[in-house]
């Protein structure tokens, strides 16, 4: 039984001591920014918005087209002249060729083109805000998953400590049984507790490996890539609610995106109102024409020269659609204002709750840290007494479990505090390197 326990312990110890890549947090963030597909998609969407933000796309520039028309016909033709003379020609061929270059330019459309130009710029800024949101959200995912791995790694170490202690207890029980100072039952109980600790570590290791797979997925790299993370969770205790609130109002990506959406809706209203004004277009061109006919007074003609003109249209009545469109656009502006106010309140609420939980867990972390120190002192004293046989195995096991549980609670408290710190920085738009 003792050999089995030692074998299990050595296998687990050997597994945990294999050389692995140390993945630092800043390296994980860098990899995510370079590889993550959501960020790549957001970058491409921004490039699309930048490409679309042009004066031509807003309708401010003229359209220039080159045209060519070549028509041919072949008929059996009969012509009756004014004096009654009749002329007939079979397979009479006619050619008509026209080619040239033309310009069409809308020079006034009720200022719609200028509102459209501003709207394209706003859409570009929205793309920038959405890219920032994608980056901050993904960095938040990296942070949360990374520190989840840190606390799980800490829990594995706590269970490693439990296995070491249980193995020592089993050795002591075996020795005492050999010299006749302990019953076989004490050895069996020690073996059961050791196996229980090994089982707990295997379960924890399964959670740890799954979290590794999740982080590799976020980093968009080979899922099987093995690594270890840093051992400590450093919490930023300098966070101030007033400062975070000010930053959130200025930098929160979701709020900024909604403000830009409000601008977009207002510009849409301007475009709708442009429907009340006239539209003026100018056109110009230089054309060449040539025609040939097998029968007729003129068998061949050609010409070239400028053509130009102006076209104006004034809306008079459109079935009250103009009034309806303006009314709908104004209601959309009101709704956009409502959404901004709603989002501001929601942001303040999320920030306040996250900060409250951050402070509570920060205090809890300090309490659990002190509790860990006390539990360690208690274990050391209990272990010394156990070796000289002044306490029972149950009391020793209780002290051992208390220490391991204290380590786990402390690790969890640190992790929860870090999660709220990440949430606060993400809401404030300051998360990242």
Question: Which 3 state secondary structure label does DSSP give 287?
Answer: strand
Give the integer Cα–Cα distance in Å for 241 and 59: 47
- CA end-to-end span of the chain: 52
Which residues touch 93 (CB under 8 Å, ≥6 apart)? 72, 73, 74, 292, 293, 294
Q: Two tokens at 241?
A: 């609610």
Q: For residue 80, what pLDDT is reported?
A: 66
**Torsion sign over Cα 260, 265, 271, 276:** negative
How much is the average pLDDT of 89-115?
Answer: 88
The answer, yes or no, to whether residue 266 has pLDDT greater than 80, is yes
How much is the average pLDDT of 2-19?
Answer: 48
Q: For residue 75, what pLDDT is reported?
A: 73
The answer, yes or no, to whether residue 194 has pLDDT greater than 80, is yes
Among 26-40, 68-82, 292-306, which range has the highest average pLDDT?
26-40
Give the integer Cα–Cα distance in Å for 402 and 398: 6
Q: Two tokens at 80?
A: 């009756």
Q: Two tokens at 324?
A: 């309806």
Give the residue with greater pLDDT, 324 vs 79.
324
Residue 23: CB atoms within 10 A of its CB come to: 21
pLDDT, tens only, 365-388: 999 999 999 999 999 999 888 888
Q: For residue 11, what pLDDT is reported?
A: 47
**Residues of the chain above pLDDT 90, percent:** 74
Q: For residue 299, what pLDDT is reported?
A: 66
Q: Two tokens at 245?
A: 């609130």
| Per-residue buried b or exposed e for 345-354, using 16+ beta carbons within 10 Å of the residue's own CB | eebeebbeeb
Question: Which 3 state secondary structure label does DSSP give 94?
Answer: strand
Give the integer Cα–Cα distance in Å for 194 and 201: 11
Longest dimension (CA), the chain: 148
The answer, yes or no, to whether residue 3 has pLDDT greater than 60, is no
Q: For residue 2, what pLDDT is reported?
A: 45
How much is the average pLDDT of 103-119?
Answer: 93
Indicate the average pLDDT of the chain.
Answer: 89
Q: For residue 19, what pLDDT is reported?
A: 55
The answer, yes or no, to whether residue 180 has pLDDT greater than 50, is yes
Cα angle 264-125-325, degrees, rounded to a multiple of 5: 10
pLDDT band of residue 116 (cuts 50, 70, 90) is: very high
The answer, yes or no, to whether residue 12 has pLDDT greater than 80, is no
How much is the average pLDDT of 226-244?
Answer: 93
The answer, yes or no, to whether residue 20 has pLDDT greater than 70, is yes
pLDDT, tens only, 35-65: 999 999 999 999 999 999 999 999 999 999 9
Whole-model pTM: value is 0.81
How much is the average pLDDT of 107-126?
Answer: 93
CA 33 → CA 26, 213, 224, distances in Å?
11, 18, 20
The answer, yes or no, to whether residue 329 has pLDDT greater than 70, is yes
Give the integer Cα–Cα distance in Å for 340 and 329: 17
How much is the average pLDDT of 275-293?
Answer: 90
Angle, to 10 degrees, between the axis of helix 37-52 and the axis of helix 25-35? Answer: 50
CA 321 → CA 182, 292, 362, distances in Å?
97, 51, 60
Q: For residue 246, what pLDDT is reported?
A: 94
The answer, yes or no, to whether residue 90 has pLDDT greater than 80, is no
Which residues touch 150 (CB under 8 Å, ≥6 apart)? 229, 230, 231, 232, 233, 415
Give the integer Cα–Cα distance in Å for 260 and 130: 11
pLDDT band of residue 182 (cuts 50, 70, 90) is: confident
Are 155 and 314 contacting, i.e. CB atoms less than 8 angstroms apart?
no
Q: For residue 433, what pLDDT is reported?
A: 52
Give the integer Cα–Cα distance in Å for 282 and 277: 17
CA 368 → CA 187, 363, 381, 413, distances in Å?
33, 9, 20, 8
pLDDT band of residue 14 (cuts 50, 70, 90) is: very low
The answer, yes or no, to whether residue 151 has pLDDT greater than 90, is yes
């Amino acid at each position: 039984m003792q050999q089995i326990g030692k074998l299990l312990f050595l296998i687990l110890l050997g597994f945990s001591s294999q050389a692995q890549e140390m993945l630092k947090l800043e390296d994980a963030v860098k990899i995510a920014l370079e590889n993550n597909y959501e960020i790549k998609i957001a970058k491409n969407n921004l490039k699309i918005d930048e490409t679309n933000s042009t004066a031509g796309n807003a309708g401010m520039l003229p359209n220039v087209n080159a045209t060519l028309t070549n028509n041919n016909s072949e008929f059996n033709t009969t012509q009756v002249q004014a004096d009654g003379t009749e002329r007939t020609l079979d397979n009479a061929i006619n050619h008509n060729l026209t080619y040239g270059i033309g310009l069409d330019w809308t020079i006034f459309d009720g200022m719609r083109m200028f509102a459209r130009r501003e709207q394209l710029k706003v859409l570009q800024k929205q793309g920038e805000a959405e890219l920032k949101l994608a980056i901050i959200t993904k960095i938040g995912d990296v942070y949360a998953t990374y520190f989840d791995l840190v606390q799980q790694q800490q829990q594995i170490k706590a269970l490693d400590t439990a296995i070491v202690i249980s193995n020592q207890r089993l050795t002591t029980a075996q020795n005492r049984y050999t010299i006749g100072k302990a019953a076989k039952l004490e050895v069996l109980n020690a073996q059961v507790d050791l196996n229980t600790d090994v089982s707990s570590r295997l379960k924890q290791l399964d959670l740890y490996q799954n979290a590794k797979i999740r982080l590799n997925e976020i980093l968009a790299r080979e899922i099987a890539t093995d690594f270890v993370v840093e051992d400590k969770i450093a919490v930023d205790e300098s966070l101030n609610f007033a400062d975070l609130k000010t930053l959130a109002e200025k930098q929160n990506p979701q709020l900024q995106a909604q403000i830009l959406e409000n601008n977009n809706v207002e510009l849409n209203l301007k475009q709708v109102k442009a429907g009340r004004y006239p539209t003026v277009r100018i056109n110009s061109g230089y054309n060449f024409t040539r025609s040939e006919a097998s029968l007729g007074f003129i068998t061949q003609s050609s010409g070239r020269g400028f053509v130009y003109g102006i076209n104006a249209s004034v809306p008079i009545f459109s079935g009250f659609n103009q009034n309806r469109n303006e009314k709908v656009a104004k209601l959309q502006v009101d709704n956009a204002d409502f959404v901004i106010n709603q989002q501001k309140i929601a942001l303040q609420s999320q920030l306040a709750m996250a900060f409250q939980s951050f402070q509570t867990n920060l205090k809890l972390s300090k309490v659990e840290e002190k509790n860990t120190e006390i539990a360690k002192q208690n274990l050391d004293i209990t272990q010394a007494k156990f070796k000289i046989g002044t306490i029972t195995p149950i009391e020793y096991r209780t002290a051992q479990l208390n220490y391991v549980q204290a380590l786990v609670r402390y690790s969890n408290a640190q992790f929860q505090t870090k999660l709220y710190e990440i949430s606060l920085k993400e809401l404030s738009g300051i998360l990242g390197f």
